[in-house]
Amino acid sequence: MKQYEIRTHVNVLNWEEMDASERELIQRAKQATESSYSPYSHFQVGAALRLQDGEIIVGSNQENAAYPVGCCAERTALFWCGANRPDVHITHIAIAAQTQGHFTPSPIAPCGMCRQALLEVEQRQGTSIKVLLYGENGTHSID
């Protein structure tokens, strides 16, 4: 029998506890919610990726009439990077969500498909991606 232990350390940070680059990334994720096409769920999600060279790539969720078929903000940004910047590592991802004109009080986590996509990007590039989940009441930071 093999046994594995998996631990996740989550830091809950307020705005002042984050460095300027993390705040900038979260701001870009929040701005990305504005380009969401979500006429069915009315749940706007934005993601911002920081690449190893400092470039920031954003994505937002895109729905269609075959709801819930669509693409999440995280995968929109990840797949753009895979298609356009495949040789540049992703160091961070920030995710924010809003509904009815208000950002969520608590952070939202990526869905299972997005978690799998993030894992495979980490495996491909050989380095981990720091995750920042924004909520009005605090940001969860996961290394």
* Active site residue ranges: 74
Name the strand (E) or helix (H) holding 37.
Answer: none
CA–CA separation, 117 vs 79, rounded Å?
A: 9
Please tell me the number of Cα atoms within 13 Å of 59 on its side-chain side.
23
Please tell me the number of Cα atoms within 13 Å of 72 on its side-chain side.
18
- CA 98 to chain CA centroid, Å, is 13
